[in-house]
Amino acid sequence: MQWVGTAGMVQGIIDDIPTVRELVERSVDEAVDIIGGRLAGAVLLEERS
C-alpha cells in the first residue's frame, strides 16, 4: 500500500519541531503568563523553578 500525504500552506509557518518536553514547558509557561496577567487578582501564583 502506498501512503499519500498532503501538506498545505501551514507547512511554511512551522519554525521548529520541539520535543514533547519543550512543548509542555512552553504551554505551561504561556498558561502561567496568561493567568498572571489576566487573572492576577483572582489567583496566587507560585514561582516556577
pLDDT the model gives residue 43: 62
Q: How many residues does the chain have?
A: 49
Asked if the model's pLDDT at residue 29 lies above 60, the reply is: yes
Mean per-residue pLDDT of the chain: 77
Could you give the number of structural domains in the chain? 1
Residue 48 is assigned to a structural domain of this protein: no
Could you tell me the residue range of the domain that residue 27 belongs to? 16-42
Mean predicted confidence (pLDDT) in 12-19: 84
In a domain, 10, yes or no: no
Distances (CA, A) of 15 to 9, 11, 21, 36, 45: 13, 9, 17, 27, 31
In a domain, 36, yes or no: yes
Residue 47 lies in a domain: no
- At residue 26 the predicted structure's pLDDT band, cuts being 50, 70 and 90, is very high
Residue 29 lies in a domain: yes
- Is 49 within a domain? no
In this prediction, residue 6 carries a pLDDT of 66
